[in-house]
Amino acid sequence: MTTFEEKRLPPAVFLMGPTASGKTDLAVALSKSYPFEIISVDSALIYKGMDIGTAKPEPDVLADAPHHLIDILDPSEAYSAADFRRDAIALMTDITKRGRIPLLVGGTMMYFKVLRDGMASMPSADDRVRQALLNTAEEKGWAFLHQQLVEVDPKAAQRIKPTDTQRLQRALEVYQLTGKPLSQWHQEQDEQKLPWDITSLALAPEDRAVLHERIALRFRLMLENGFLDEAKALYARGDLSVNMPAVRSVGYRQVWSYLDGELSYEEMVERGIIATRQLAKRQLTWLRGWPDVHWLDTLSPNLESDALKVLGNVLI
Digit-by-digit pLDDT tens for the chain (316 residues) are: 334 444 589 999 999 999 999 999 999 999 999 999 999 999 999 999 999 999 999 999 999 999 999 999 999 999 999 899 999 999 999 999 999 999 999 999 999 999 998 876 678 888 899 999 999 999 999 999 999 999 999 999 999 999 899 999 999 999 999 999 988 887 766 556 799 999 999 999 999 999 999 999 999 999 999 999 999 999 999 999 998 999 999 999 999 999 999 999 999 999 999 999 999 999 999 999 999 999 999 999 999 999 999 999 887 6
On whether both 70 and 200 belong to a single domain, the answer is yes
On whether both 300 and 270 belong to a single domain, the answer is yes
Distance of CA 103 to the CA centre of its chain: 15
Whether residue 225 lies inside any domain: the answer is yes
> How many domains is the chain partitioned into structurally?
2
The string of DSSP codes covering the chain is: ---GGGSPPPEEEEEE--TTS-HHHHHHHHTTTS-EEEEEE-TTTTBTT--TTTTPPPHHHHHHS-EESSS-B-TTS---HHHHHHHHHHHHHHHHHTT-EEEEEES-HHHHHHHHH----PPPP-HHHHHHHHHHHHHH-HHHHHHHHHHH-HHHHHHS-TT-HHHHHHHHHHHHHHSS-HHHHHHHPPP---SSEEEEEEEE-SSHHHHHHHHHHHHHHHHHTTHHHHHHHHHHHSS--TTSTTTTSTTHHHHHHHHTTSS-HHHHHHHHHHHHHHHHHHHHHHHHT-TTEEEEETT-TTHHHHHHHHHHHH--
Task: Give dist(CA 108, CA 79) in Å, integer.
Answer: 13
Q: CATH number of the domain that 299 lies in?
A: 3.40.50.300
On whether both 110 and 198 belong to a single domain, the answer is yes
Q: CATH number of the domain that 179 lies in?
A: 1.10.20.140
> Edge-to-edge strand order for the sheet containing 36-41?
67-68, 36-41, 101-106, 11-16, 197-204, 293-297
On whether both 219 and 170 belong to a single domain, the answer is no
Whether residue 148 lies inside any domain: the answer is yes
On whether both 180 and 201 belong to a single domain, the answer is no
Whether residue 77 lies inside any domain: the answer is yes
- Choose the final residue of a domain: 188, 209, 224: 188
Whether residue 5 lies inside any domain: the answer is no
On whether both 73 and 200 belong to a single domain, the answer is yes
- Choose the final residue of a domain: 147, 168, 188: 188
On whether both 180 and 195 belong to a single domain, the answer is no
On whether both 167 and 285 belong to a single domain, the answer is no
Whether residue 4 lies inside any domain: the answer is no
On whether both 201 and 293 belong to a single domain, the answer is yes
Whether residue 152 lies inside any domain: the answer is yes
Residue 307 contacts residue 27 (beta carbons within 8 Å): no
164: containing domain: 127-188
pLDDT at 77: 95
Task: Give dist(CA 230, CA 239) in Å, integer.
Answer: 15
On whether both 115 and 238 belong to a single domain, the answer is yes
Whether residue 3 lies inside any domain: the answer is no
On whether both 212 and 162 belong to a single domain, the answer is no
Task: Give dist(CA 205, CA 20) in Å, integer.
Answer: 10
Distance of CA 156 to the CA centre of its chain: 22
- Choose the final residue of a domain: 140, 165, 188: 188
Whether residue 2 lies inside any domain: the answer is no
Of 133, 180, 183, 141, give the one whose Cα is nearest residue 158. Answer: 183
What's the pLDDT tens digit per position in 177-217?
A: 999 998 888 776 655 679 999 999 999 999 999 999 999 99
Residue 93 contacts residue 115 (beta carbons within 8 Å): no
On whether both 29 and 148 belong to a single domain, the answer is no
The half-sphere exposure of 23 on its side-chain side, counting CA atoms within 13 A, is: 28
